[in-house]
Amino acid sequence: MEGDDEYNDGNRAFLQAFMARGTMTLREAKPILANILTIQEGEPVETVQITQEIFDSYLSAAQEALSSLDYDIRSTMHQVAKKRIWAIVNTTSDAMTQLATLHSAEEIAFVKRVLDAMFDKYNSPRLEAMFLDSMQFHQCCRAPAAAQAADAVEEDGEEGQPPQPSQQLRGLKSSEAEAMMQSMVDEGWFERSVEGCYSLSPRALMELHSWLIETYNDPGAEPGDWQRIKFCEACKDIVTVGQRCTERDCNVRLHDICEEAFWRTKREKKCPKCQTLWDGKHFVGERAVTETEAYRRSKGHRGRDGRSSGLMEQIMAPDEEEEEEEDQEHLDDE
């Protein structure tokens, strides 16, 4: 039961189902392929009969069919669920461009502000959070006045000309922002945790891989310098959920799903770069906040939404000392 080597209606049905979902796991693919093969072979094919090899053959055929359309099929391991996920990825335009075909300019600008908050504002050497809670994404609703002016100049093509009201990005209402975030979850771009926090999904990390690096990392940084987008020491994929070296200035990061196999190959549980003892108690992602003493103490004093009002904002607030250092560096450069 390997299927025909020729690209057929079964392959087309599989690809259509794949594109409708955006992502797929082996578990999700099994009932789809079982139904396809049942129709093709004229006899019942059970889900348990669908193997990884059969799935791979359909993936290969779909990948070949998509290549001429500038699409590819890539896979990654879910950072929490430890399951392999395949996604159809556009190889010629970034995901922000793709989203523009489905959403308005206001909605795309809102998503960009959310990403800036995730990977810039609330992502620092002190605390690599890379997620937003409901209070924080609501703060991204309104378009900054400076951004409105810049957008208006770009739209008009000339400085000094007053922008048309219709060209200004005014932001979203709270209800519109909530609907947009839910839409992003439904479309597979964001994930929402049990704590009600939003982070990028595996699909988004695959689609936005190059864009995230180009947008948030400094291409002129030295090898040992801290960068906003970090990579797992084991699998080399982007880390937004995982562990970090105990030494704050060290850049070594590990996915939780990678650490067991990684340490199995080492004599000691020490950072491979700075040799600091790896305690497994320093985190990247949501636990960088939820594992703090301040967050634990708040558990008995939660509001209706399950969180202390403003606590996440306080814990994730940009480091004042770092901001002062950056300001001083800026003055020194001048």
Can you tell me which residue has the tokens 């004093």? 301
> H-helix or E-strand containing 184?
helix 174-186
Percent of the residues in the chain that have a pLDDT greater than 90, as a whole number: 61
**pLDDT tens by residue, 203-248:** 999 999 999 999 999 999 998 899 999 999 999 999 999 999 999 9
Least confident span in 58-72, 75-89, 162-176, 188-202: 162-176
DSSP 319: P
As given in the structure block, the two tokens for residue 197 are 């926090």
Average pLDDT, rounded, for the chain = 84
**pLDDT tens by residue, 12-34:** 999 999 999 989 999 999 999 99
Residue among 311, 320, 75 nearest 202 (CA): 75
Domain boundaries, the chain: 9-69, 90-318
Question: Does the structural domain 90-318 have CATH classification 1.10.10.10?
Answer: yes
Distances from the Cα of 250 to the Cα of 21, 224, 225, angstroms: 39, 8, 9
Contact 125, 248 (CB under 8 A): yes
Q: Mapping DSSP to helix (H, G, I), strand (E, B) and coil, where does residue 143 land?
A: coil
Look at residue 297 in the predicted model and tell me its pLDDT. Answer: 75
Strand 84-90 versus strand 253-254 pairing type:
unpaired
